[in-house]
Structures are given as structure tokens and as C-alpha cells.
A and B are shown apart, each in its own frame.
Chain A
Amino acid sequence: MSATAVVGKAVPKVDGAEKVTGRTVYIHDLKIPGMLYGKIKYSDRVSARIVSIDTSEAEKVPGVKAVITAYNTPEIRFGFLKDNTALKKDRVRQYRDEIAAVAATTPEAAEEAVRKIRVEYEDLPAVFDPDEALAPEAPRVHETDARGKPLKDNRLRLPWRVEAGDVKAGEEASAFVAEGEYEVGWVTHCCLGTSGCIASFDPHGNLTMYSNTQIPSLARTDYMEALKAMGLRGRVRVVNAAIGGGFGSKLDTYAHEYIAILLAHRTGRPVKIVFDREEEFFATSPRQPVKVRVRQGCDAQGRLTFREISMVLDNGAYTSWGATTPTVMMMPATSLYRVPNVRFEATCVYTNNTYCQAMRGYGTPQVTFAIECNLDELAEKVGLDPLEMRLRNANEPGEVTPQGFKVTTCGHRECIEEVAKRLDWKNKRGRAGQTGSKRRGVGMACLMHVGGGAKIYRSDGCGTLIKVDDFGNVDVFSGSMDIGQGLDTVLRQIVAETLGVGIERVNVIVGDTDVCPWDVGVHASRSTFIAGNSALNAARMVRDQILEFAGQMLEAPPEILALENGQVVCREDPSKNLPLAKVLRRAHFAKTGNTMFMAAHFYEPDTDMLEGEFKGNYSCTYAWGCHGVEVEVDTETGHVEIVKYVAAHDVGRAINPMLLRGQVQGAVMMGIGYALSEEMIFEQGRLRNPNFRDYKILTAKDAVKVEPVIVETEDPAGPFGAKGIGEPGLVPSAPAIANAIYDAVGVRLNRLPLKPERVLRALKEREAPSGPCGALQREG
């Protein structure tokens, strides 16, 4: 590994001091003179025709400046299939449908006005189960598509299918086949800072959106389309306040943002809409529930021969970018472990449930739960230790997977071995002779994720501008964003390293589309890799400019010069070394040919956007990992306690080990919540638990100290060898825990969360398989 000054160091997050002193400004804290407060009236019905909307009483509330509905505003269509509108006309399809909105001088007035809006409905049939929604006689959630073309059923017209090799031949060559159905429900991001925005028009009709989006550039495009729909020709600027958590929740634009735009335009004043916690739960889009069917087989030695996965996703009533998650689910489906023959098919179905979106992992947690639980079942059929099963099939550097992914660096095997070693797998697994009500077991699961961007959009690029002042201070304008993960710090480290200056010299500016270049967004664990490469390339260009000039000053070829410790260093003659600032000023204030050093670079990874057959290479490199967990299951209560948790990740190279650990630890806790405690409970489309008391994200008292194992494979394509790490940490948690529960007590649970009731029920049903609840029948 090359010697570095700041890359690889545990540099504290650069905005840490601001955050611990409470000075950071989130959208909640931002006020603009003249600002009004917007509030949304949501549907009272899950599926109905809107007969009438009476806003007359709302308009009379003192302080109210505007009440809008779909009937007095232009239609703004949005979403991946443009099947959603900012305000609903004629028809509601889910409880969170926006029917009207108010702008008022105080939040209280806006709330009061919303309460006074009267809507008359005519109920329509609704459908909540995706399988039922696929039946021919099911009520249609949408009668037409966005263009008005009739839809004959609730199936989304999305071609999520890939096949490679010969699955039939693979199956015929199999000595063992395991088959299973797995089910995961809704979970949601639970950003501590709720969603919100402020829309503000200037007198020329230019819009500034103060936002907390994860996709400033794409959001800008979306808002421009909205202005067009409103008949406006203004420019759009997106300015981000600090973001109180992202996790994929802000990867799309939402109705409340368009409503703020409509209200701001109507009133001629800035309008702020910030969600309260209940809205954050019911009016933002959760991770999709999925039912997955897996079949996979292997030969007599346990080498995988084929894998077939089909799934049904509950899309909800409208379609967000989250509907593309199957294009990422395909990746582990076809390429986690070496499987020659694969088939994957995903069906997204409209229902009258809340519509879904992306969440950390982008589909891979769902499909990995199915694959990795099923792999343990297959190993058992073969009679192999699941560890051995995994080692026999682990991915290797240099392979091209059946779907066409080019595996470059790959620490898969090493991650598995590290987990086995640290968990004392050989001794801990299959412990015989356990007595008493508490039984221990170990389980593991692996992951594969995009580690070098993901070309899901037409461009997976990111731009960076760098300028240097007369004193060696560097401004870096990146298209990417910090959402708490530490991009601000990582970019500083990369640029400081390249320009040989201290990180305190480097200032990173993000989150303003007027100033910062384009970037596709903070998602797909791509920012360190893509924005990092972009910044690295721009910094190299600046470095080369400086060295070129310094070479002329020193009469030395630039090849023997370098930037280190705030100096231009001459490798062959240290007496020629010059302070960087001196070189910079000499260039700027020269008698002739004055120059300052600056550069811009747009980095577009050399990858394929998958369409049609969905074959190709959509990431520059792939992230690998393995989690191992030891659990203690209380056989009388079904409670699962995590005793030890090891998370091994191939991260390429850790640019900042402390922030990296924070990503892994935080993701694992989110993964443990997914596995054990979190569930959104919908009844007939209505969310029953829109609060932190009943939606159970884990607390400090529940926190599991994760033992992180950083496997460095130094990816040649990554900045200083780095790969992405934002999402991988939560991908294999649930299957690792489910597999450990099986090892401890011998029951397989195919449905998340693995809550105590489910574990205990499974144990009871095994004891007394007769009744629907076995031994529990005695209660009558």
C-alpha cells in the first residue's frame, strides 16, 4: 500500500464541532423573511372517488394565504412512471394521497385550516395483497398509465428479468436442490430529521428550493419539469440544508416538494413544509415488501449448479425510483457465489398500500435474506458445514459472472475466513448437549454490492471543481453531498493527500446546484468511489498545473517534483524545495502570463447501463463481505439476544477507518432492527404505528458492539484503492441472524422480523405440529 499522509487516517468528521455545538442548520432551523408555512390535507380513504372538496372554511382561518387543490392548480406529474401527481384529482389510491394544501403565516393556522377542509368521497374497492392484486378480477389501482393508455391489470410494465446459462441443464446436473419462500415486510428509514423543504420564487420566476434531497442535480431536473407544467420558464436552484439522515429516503422527489412549489408560486412568498414525525412515517416511502421464491442446487461436492429466483414486490399505489430496485437485486441473485446458470424475475404490483421507495441496500437486503437462508438449507442437504459451502462457492478475483459483472478485486473468501476465525466457528457451531432454556448458535451470511458506482441512470457521473488561492487554501466544489456519512471529510482527505497540504487547508462545498457540478446523487454506496475519483482527478490536474509552473521556476522537470507538506518538493535536490504558497503567488502575480490554478473534472465510470437482457457490468468494482453472529435464543420466550457480531468487509481501502467503522456499525444496527424488531404494521392500507414508540428502531440499550473486520484489497479503479461501504453493512444481517437461530434451536424462520412471537411459535409448532398453534391450543 502506498504511503500516505492523510488518506487512511482516522480524521474526525469536519463538521463535527458544528454539530456538537448545535450550530448546524437543518431545514427545520431555516427561516426566510416572509416565509409561510405549508400543511397538507391527506386522504381519509384508501381508495375512493373524490366527489367534492370544500375549502371555504379553511380559507377563512386568519393567517391563511392560500388553499390549493388539484382543481385550482396545474397538474404536476412525477415519479418513475409519472403515475403520481402532486395533488390528487378525482381519485385517491392510498391514505397518504395529497388532496389539498394550505399556506399560512403560522404552522398553527395552517394546521387549523387543514382540519377544516371537508372532502366528500365515494368509496371504491381496494386491494392490499400483491398476490390478490395480480388476480384478473382484482380492483384496478390505476385504470390507465400516465399517458392515458388503459392498463389491463395491476402488474407494472417493468422488464425486470435476467437469465444466463442454462437453468434447466443446471438443475439436471444437481445432486441437491433447496427451495424456499421468504417474505419481508415494510421497514422505513426513520431519519431523525424529518423531510422538508422551502420553495421560494424570485420576481423573475426563478425557483430556489431549500431542500434535504440526496439528489440535488436530478431533483433540479424534476423541479424544472414542474415549472414547465406550471407554464413557467424560470431557472431552478437547489440548495441543501444539512441533512438529518438519508438512507435512501430522499432519493426521489415527492409530492410535498411540488406542493411547496405550487404554494410559493400562488402566494408569491417562500413556503416551508416540514413533516412532523407522524407524516414522516406515513407520507414517506418505505422499503418494499417482497415475497421471494428461491430454488438453487449444487453437485455432490456442494458446488452451485443453478439458482432461480422469482419475486413479487408490493409497489404500492404509485411508482418511485424504488421500482428499479430489482435491477440491483439481480446482482446478488445472479452473482453472489459462483453460479453458472441463473434466472431472476421480479414482478412489481400496484396495490392500495403506501407506495415504496429505495432504502439503504436498494433491494439487496430482501433478496440476500432469501439467498443466504436458502444456501444454509442447501448446505444441510449436502451435509456440508455452511462455512465450507460458502468457501467452496466464494467469488474469486478475475471472474466474470453470468450476468456480466467483472469481478476485479474480491475479498469474499477472506471475509468468510475472518468471520469463521473470529467467531470460533468450528467450536461454536452445532453445539450439542445444550440444556436449559437458553441455547446458543452461530450463523453467517455473505453479501455482494456495487462498490464502484452503479449505472442505474443514464449517467453515473460526478463533477468536481477545484480552485487554489494565493496561500494554499483549496476550495473543492463537488456535485455530491454529505448526508452524515462523511463525504465532506473523505473528499478533504483525498484532495489534501493529492495536493500535499493539510486537510485544514481544504474546504469542501456541496449542496448548491448554482455552484456545484452535476452528480447523479448520494446512493448506491457510490460517493467515496465516484465523487472521490472525480475529486482525485481534479486535484491531480491542479497538482500537475502547479508542478508544471514550479518546474519552470526551478528549472527542473516536473517529473522530479512533488507536493508534500505544503511545499513543492524536489526529489533530486531538496535545496530547491519551495513553499507552495510562494509558488502560487508567483504564478498569480507574475509580470506576464498571470495564472491561478484551478481545474474541473467530470468523472464518468466506464460501466454499462443494463437494459434489455440486463447483462453487462454496471459497477467499476464490487464490494464483498461476510457477517457472522452468535445468538442466544430463549426457547421459552422466543427472544433472540445477540452475543457476538463480526462484520468483515472488503472495502478496497479504508480512506478513513473511523468513519468507515461508523458506516458499518450503523448499518449493522439498522440490519439488526430489520432482522429482529422493525415492522410497519399496515391494516387495510392504514399504518398503525407511525411513531417511535410502536415502530421499534433499536436504542442505545439494545446496541450491539460490532467487531468490524476491514479487508483491504486495494481496488485499482478506486480512489487510493477504495470501494463503497455505505450500504453493505446492513445487507447480510438478517440472514446471518436467521441462520444462527437455526443453529441454536433448529427452526427456520422465513419471514422478517424474527420477532419473539414468531420464534416461539415456530418452536411450539415443532413440538406439537398438529394444531395451528401447536401446544398453544390448550388456551382454547
Chain B
Amino acid sequence: MERITIRFKVNGEDATVAVAPHWNLLRVLREELELTGAKEGCGAGECGACTVLVNGRAVNACLYPAVEADGAEVTTVEGLAGPGGELHPIQRAFVEKGAVQCGFCTPGMVLSAKALLDRVPLPSEEEIRTALAGNLCRCTGYAQIIEAVQAAAEELSR
């Protein structure tokens, strides 16, 4: 099978992977690089469980052709915590505000929140809801997730 070698940065580190044209970025991250934080929830861009950042923008890795990651900077949930393992303020807020239940949507949710706060440091509640709308959660009913993003925004803006 034809393979194309792509070179990109994942969480700040260089990665080189020979990918098949039909692979998506999610497969490269999960299967080739063993970064299993991004989940496949639907495979059709409808649930957001596979959300990662490509050049700072939130995308569904399940719909992102692996080839297109060539030259990109990719951030996965594994890349958010600090060097000593201390949680990113968004991650900490999710834990402390009760925004995590089964956790399957959490990595994607955290990354959507990060993409938003990088773009809009102090978003309105409506902006938060809009940014997270593509991340489905069946456990929490979203309220504590929204509050966690608000708390993280305040902390990051201090």
C-alpha cells in the first residue's frame, strides 16, 4: 500500500510517520503514536471526542486527513499538563468543578475550551456554549463544564 511520510510536531516534539492516504489524524495519534487521549466517539465529526488542536485550532481528528498534518503543530490532551505533570488550569478547573464524569468526552472538551480561551481570553457564556457545542457529553448536562471553563478563563486572565 502506498505510504506518504509526514513530519509534524505533536505536543512540541517532532514526529515522523508513514501514513496511508486514507488514514485520518486520529489513527496516527492513537495507533502510531499511542496518544490515546483523543477518542473516537462517532467517526463522523458529530461528537467531538476526537478533538485535537492543529495549529491552535480545534478540529475533529476523525475527519482530518493524516496527510494534511504534514508540517503542522498538533496538540493533544497529553500535551497540556506542565513538565512536572501539574495540570493546565483548564484541566484543574474541570476536576475541581465536577465537570468530569465518565470522562470519555473530557479530552476533547478540554481542548475545545483551550482553543476558545487562546482566541477569546474572557468569553461570554454564550461563546463558551458555542465553542463546546460540538463536544457531546451524555453524563454532566454541561452546566459544570461551562462553569469550569469560566473559572479557567478567569484564572488564566489573572
A residues engaging B (CB < 8 A)? 10, 12-13, 15-26, 28-29, 189-194, 242-247, 276-277, 483-486, 658-659, 661-662, 665-670, 691-693, 697, 699-701, 703-706
CB distance from B126 to the nearest CB of A (A): 8
Q: At the interface, yes or no: B74 with Cβ under 8 Å from chain A?
A: no
Nearest CB to that of B77 among chain A residues? A22
B104 engages A693 (CB within 8 Å) = no
A20 engages B144 (CB within 8 Å) = no
Question: Are A277 and B43 also in contact (CB < 8 A) when A19-B106, A192-B137, A701-B133 are?
Answer: yes
In the bound complex, residues from chain A placing their C-beta under 8 Å from that of B49 are 192
Question: Are A13 and B141 also in contact (CB < 8 A) when A23-B37, A26-B104, A701-B129 are?
Answer: no
A670 engages B138 (CB within 8 Å) = yes
State the interface size on chain B (CB cutoff 8 A). Answer: 54
In the bound complex, residues from chain B placing their C-beta under 8 Å from that of A24 are 103
- 17 inter-chain pairs at a CB distance below 8 angstroms, sorted by A residue, are A10-B98, A17-B95, A20-B107, A21-B91, A24-B103, A190-B138, A192-B139, A242-B102, A277-B43, A662-B141, A666-B139, A699-B133, A700-B128, A700-B133, A700-B142, A706-B141, A706-B143
Contact of A700 among B80, B91, B101, B132 (CB under 8 A): B132
A483, A692, A706: residue with the most chain B Cβ atoms closer than 10 Å: A692
A700 engages B39 (CB within 8 Å) = no
| 9 nearest A-B pairs in the assembled complex, by CB-CB distance | A22-B37, A484-B102, A19-B103, A669-B141, A244-B104, A16-B95, A703-B142, A22-B77, A484-B101
B142 engages A245 (CB within 8 Å) = no
B residues engaging A (CB < 8 A)? 30, 35-44, 46-47, 49, 76-78, 80-81, 87, 91-92, 94-98, 100-107, 110, 128-130, 132-146
Nearest CB to that of A694 among chain B residues? B46
In the bound complex, residues from chain A placing their C-beta under 8 Å from that of B91 are 17, 20-21
In the bound complex, residues from chain A placing their C-beta under 8 Å from that of B39 are 26, 28, 192-193, 244
Q: Give Cα A636–Cα B67 distance, bound, in whole angstroms.
A: 49
Q: Give Cα A243–Cα B139 distance, bound, in whole angstroms.
A: 12
In the bound complex, residues from chain A placing their C-beta under 8 Å from that of B78 are 21-23
B46 engages A691 (CB within 8 Å) = yes
Tally of contacts, chain A with chain B, CB under 8 A = 176
CB distance from B104 to the nearest CB of A (A): 3
In the bound complex, residues from chain B placing their C-beta under 8 Å from that of A701 are 129-130, 133
Q: Give Cα A544–Cα B147 distance, bound, in whole angstroms.
A: 42
A662 engages B129 (CB within 8 Å) = no
Q: Give Cα A21–Cα B81 distance, bound, in whole angstroms.
A: 7
CB distance from A389 to the nearest CB of B (A): 29
In the bound complex, residues from chain A placing their C-beta under 8 Å from that of B36 are 22, 25, 28-29
B102 engages A245 (CB within 8 Å) = yes
Q: Give Cα A467–Cα B95 distance, bound, in whole angstroms.
A: 28
In the bound complex, residues from chain B placing their C-beta under 8 Å from that of A700 are 128-129, 132-133, 135, 137, 142, 145-146
A20 engages B87 (CB within 8 Å) = yes
Nearest CB to that of A276 among chain B residues? B43
Beyond A244-B39, A700-B146, 20 extra complex contacts between A and B, CB < 8 Å: A16-B95, A21-B87, A29-B30, A192-B39, A192-B137, A193-B102, A193-B104, A245-B104, A245-B138, A247-B138, A661-B98, A665-B140, A665-B143, A666-B141, A693-B46, A697-B136, A699-B142, A700-B128, A703-B129, A703-B143
